[in-house]
Amino acid sequence: MADLELYDRRDCPYSKQVRDTLSDLGIAYDETVVPDKHTDRDELYERTGQRGVPVLFDPALEDDWLANSDEIIEHLERTHQ
């Protein structure tokens, strides 16, 4: 099991940017593809209080997760290069 966990949608351009960054940096991660409907994303809501994607869980983060693709990419580039 990888330390990083990404909740995303395969058709989401923001999620794709994060996946591409993870791949470019050679970072292993576990992926959970969330349902299409926001109202069906209960697991994500229980963990974060929100239903949008992408969300990256990283135990190195103070709050354990980030939910903005730009912030996620910045974090990955800063901590994994």
CA atoms 69, 75, 80, 81: torsion sign: positive
When pLDDT is averaged across residues 58-65 and rounded to a whole number, the result is 94
Task: Assign 61 to helix, strand or coil.
Answer: coil
To 10 degrees, what angle do helices 69-79 and 13-24 make? 0
What are the residue boundaries of the structural domains of the chain, listed by start? 4-79
Q: What is the CATH number of domain 4-79?
A: 3.40.30.10
Predicted confidence (pLDDT) at residue 1 exceeds the cutoff of 80: no
Predicted confidence (pLDDT) at residue 34 exceeds the cutoff of 80: yes
pLDDT of the residue at 19: 98
Say what the pTM is.
0.93
